Amino acid sequence: METPSSIGRYRIKRWLASGAMGNIYEAHDPLIERPIALKVLRRELLERGDRDGWLQRFRHEARAAGPLLHPNIVTLLDYGEQDGVPFLAMEYVEGESLDQLIKRSGRLAYADAVWIITQVLNALDFAHANAVVHRDIKPSNVLLTKGSLAKVADFGIAHIETSDLTSEGDILGTPSYMAPEQLLGKTVDHRADQFAAGALFFELLTGAKPFGGKSLGESMLNMERRGPADICDLNPEVTPELKRVIERSLAYEPEDRHADVAAFHRAIIESARASEPRADRPLRTDETVVAPLVSPPLSLPPTDVPVAPAPFAVELLAEVERDLATFIGPIAKSAVRRAARSTVDLSALYQVLADYIESKGDRESFISTGQRRIAVSHRYRPSSGSQGSLGSQPSLGQSGADGPTAIISIAPAALSRLETELTVYIGPIASIVLRRLLSKSSSLPDFYRDLAAYIPDERERSKFLGSRLGPSN
């Protein structure tokens, strides 16, 4: 296959891979001096009798992926055509696919599998909220950056609720990860993505596919009559609780699965926390690496926290956004707002956002800028108990220019119960939040109010405060 020297304004560096619809190249955008990935519709498809169908499907991918700006989704940057051949310019992800990782490593460590699948579910939840069903979740369509950020790629057969491009009778996807209704050519919804994510999670934990079978027919029979193989036999780290969570996602009938991928996500986190002592090493609970390692190290703080008010002043986030936009352009706004909801201090925020920057030198420059911001961040510190539009509590668990903060004293047993309760709402980051707020809040009532700011549901937030401060909180 001959590699072109350029497509549109983009200069081709090398061929990367070929898929069902297109060839993918690493390229360079000379306008903004950054690497990108180019997906180009294969010429042989344009020479077939069904040329118009392939063109329509390729353009459909651009419509599906275009609005999805999310840290766990490969960003679509541009769509164009050259000499009648369409192409997509996408974020270039320096790393490897989960398919490559599984082939190299076999089953992953328990905590690593949880870390990756929760990011995939974050991406799917965002896509579903934007009326997009992926329909082809599989290891080769999930990329893992060098910082171990998972990114879902290839929306080539995605279904958009307002689109009539696909209909009942179409069988699109990869059989080993397709839900039964998808294999039978029935109309699918978001629950088909949940099934595929469950199959992917099973494979991450075991190195094997859940239903086995020497043929597609045998696999389908196993889906209907036997269900997935016993995951606890294949991986002793998996508890019965997590087994039930996974098996529910792989239920034959869509209505027997979790209500949505967000519910699947919550069930994984709850069962993972309960089963943490069985793992060789615990799940990550801080910005440092405490999870079992894959190569490269899993060095990012968790991104699996539900959307909740972030502990940063609006003015500070605006400055962070400007810092990041210098390197990645307009998508900085979405990246900062999203990351701010899943980090609890300014240093961690800059570390997470640095993963969006391709050049090592630029990443270091961005983080250095962040260190200077941290040194002066006290000017954004609000008065005690006040709330900004993004929950503007002080973001650093340290003494600032205003002097040291008071330390709240709570009995260890009560603190443990509080962490368990908060974990239900915000996941494993609960322990970090508790430690930071204990050294930051000026009084016990303020401590509870600060904690409540992390709970996204207003009713649950009121319930949490009412149990501690009374109904007139």
Render pLDDT for 161-193 as a digit per residue (tens, 0 to 9): 433 334 333 434 467 788 998 888 888 899 999
107's tokens: 């089953």
Q: Is 154 a catalytic residue?
A: no
Residue whose structure tokens are 């270091």: 364
CB distance 447 to 408 below 8 Å: yes
66's tokens: 């275009």
Please compute the mean of the pLDDT values over residues 108-133 and round it to a whole number: 90
Task: Identify the band that residue 280 occupies on the pLDDT scale cut at 50, 70 and 90.
Answer: very low
In this structure, what is the dihedral angle of CA atoms 248, 114, 268, 199, given to the nearest 10 degrees?
-10
Q: How far is CA 16 from the centre of its chain?
A: 24
Of the given ranges (105-114, 323-332, 375-384), which has the lowest mean pLDDT?
Answer: 375-384
Task: Identify the band that residue 283 occupies on the pLDDT scale cut at 50, 70 and 90.
Answer: very low
Residues 112, 136, 154, 323: which is the catalytic one? 136
pLDDT the model gives residue 157: 57
Please compute the mean of the pLDDT values over residues 83-97 and round it to a whole number: 89
CB distance 257 to 287 below 8 Å: no
124-138, 154-168, 345-359, range with greatest mean pLDDT: 124-138
CB distance 354 to 373 below 8 Å: no
Q: What angle do CA 239, 426, 190 make, to 5 degrees?
A: 75
Give 369-383 as a DSSP string: HHHHHHHHGGGGPPP
Task: Identify the band that residue 311 occupies on the pLDDT scale cut at 50, 70 and 90.
Answer: low
CB distance 49 to 28 below 8 Å: no
Query: What would the pLDDT profile of 429-472 be if each residue is shown by its tens digit?
Result: 666 667 767 766 667 777 787 777 767 666 777 888 888 777 65
* Cα–Cα distance for residue pair 247/66, rounded to 1 Å: 33
pLDDT the model gives residue 200: 96
pLDDT the model gives residue 173: 42
CB distance 380 to 400 below 8 Å: no
